[in-house]
Amino acid sequence: MTSTHRLLPPLGASLTRGRFSSDQIRNGFLRSFRGFATVTSSEPALANLEAKCADAIPECSTVEDEITKIRHEFELAKQRFLNIPEAINTMPKMNPQGIYVNKNLRLDNIQVYGFDYDYTLAHYSSHLQSLIYDLAKQHMVNEFRYPDVCIQFKYDPTFPIRGLYYDKLKGCLMKLDFFGSIEPDGCYFGRRKLSRKEIESMYGTRHIGRDQARGLVGLMDFFCFSEACLIADMVQYFVDAKLEFDASNIYNDVNRAIQHVHRSGLVHRGILADPYRYLLKNGQLLRFLRMLKDKGKKLFLLTNSPYHFVDGGMRFLMEDSFGLRDSWRELFDVVIAKANKPEFYTSEHPFRCYDSVRDNLAFTKVDAFDPKKVYYHGCLKSFLEITKWHGPEVIYFGDHLFSDLRGPSKAGWRTAAIIHELEREIQIQNDDSYRFEQAKFHIIQELLGRFHATVSNNQRSEACQSLLDELNNARQRARDTMKQMFNRSFGATFVTDTGQESAFSYHIHQYADVYTSKPENFLLYRPEAWLHVPYDIKIMPHHVKVASNLFKT
């Protein structure tokens, strides 16, 4: 199953594609391994091994013949695995700053650009997760009376990824695939990884059914890293202390503590007190916003954060850019803070005009938006009535698939998901060493498929079982190597260890028309560009899948 996913050709960001020589393309699986070697001193020996394989296996008419053929091909493959194939070097590289398309989008039809603030316009350093974690655990100890020893817990940046699920009934933190099945090597009880037998013992199967799904909560935004780590650490504490606990209480307390950290302003004050530690300056952001204004586009800011926090952050981010330290507001036609998303999209709350000097809300009715004023609360219904902006001409940028994008998507707005970690993951998948492991995995997977199609359980001889064990072990080593390149606990954000899309990817398909790592990546494209879905998608549009039959005709 081959797939060559293509990024749209932006200005200065086209794919590097290569051609394969006729020597790299052969009919049949056996000869496909020719493409998996560079010219080395062992080439004559490998050629002889190929010849022996071809001569020894003229036809497969029995189970033994097929198993012998699979064994020969596996031995040949292991020799080829000693070198990274030249063909992998010529495969296309995906652009880490590219825009990836789930639904066709004509930018010339977009007249209004809306933005969330946190992790959309503002990006943060890794120190922020530690700050949130520390403030939340302190609240749990001081206010919820968790044991004092919990104050010693430390945030582990190597443990969580975005898009995990927590089971409030059983206490497991897990990664799910596109179909709602538990990742075999991505299910933790506390900080201990569960084995496949333990997963099947707890759930009956790896697939999460409708009844079991009711107990799951998704951790989808960028602030969920600290939340996931704190949940796992608290569960592990109770397990180690041999104390009884209710898994739902752990989640509820951690979630309440995380919400308190944000709503009380603790994390906001911490960020503004040391912006150089937490905020990442980006000169391209102002260039992007200014370009939109120059093109006559309307801009609005819609965030759940309070205005003083947004104002302090925007001033810091733009203080070095074009002398606009005090005029970031000039870029936006409407500024709405404390919007209370996702309720903003379904409620009928009125807008209130906010006085930033007096820090209070006006009592007068809002029936028009003044670019010089700031608004709190409100709802989508009133927003559309006041602005007269029609759904298809509006695009909204946000990092949270549920809170930011699900409502706009259902309301007819176009949506752009901002996924900061996309850049790093694309850089990893572009690396030849990762692609080589991926090719090994797919080749072994195909051999295993042929093995299971040939041999039933009651036909397995000692030689068959030996081959099966070797193939399974080799596949697991390739999986483990690829997983460690991303995250040692849960692997990649967008795919599972078996190459399936993750549940997080599923939600991106549902609610994001396009996705990218930063809004300013749109600078790589013409403002009038037509963004099309790649015709050959098999998994996410930003993936290039190294398939075993790459070198076949």
56: exposed, middle or buried (Cβ count in 10 Å: 0-12, 13-18, 19+): exposed
- Is 246 annotated to bind a ligand? Reply is no
Q: Does 274 count as an annotated binding residue?
A: no
What's the rounded Cα separation, in Å, for the pair 253 and 238?
14
Burial 421-438 (b: 16+ CB within 10 A, else e): bbbebbebbbeeebbbbb
Q: What's the rounded Cα separation, in Å, for the pair 165 and 504?
A: 10
Closest listed residue to residue 215, CA positions, set 166, 162, 160: 166
Return the DSSP state at 207: B
Query: What is the CA angle 444-450-453, rounded to 5?
Result: 140
Angle between helices 266-273 and 307-318 (to 10 degrees): 20
CA dist 549 and 553 (Å) reads 8
**Residue 111: Cβ-neighbour burial (10 angstroms; 0-12, 13-18, 19+):** middle
Query: For residue 61, what are the CA distances in angstroms to 15, 296, 365, 445, 458?
Result: 45, 71, 83, 22, 19
3-state secondary structure 446-478: HHHHHHHHHCCHHHCCHHHHHHHHHHHHHHHHH
Q: Which residues are catalytic?
A: 116, 118
513 appears as a binding residue in the annotation? no
Binding residues, by number, are: 116, 118, 399
Binding residues for Mg(2+), by number, are: 116, 399
Binding residues for GMP, by number, are: 118
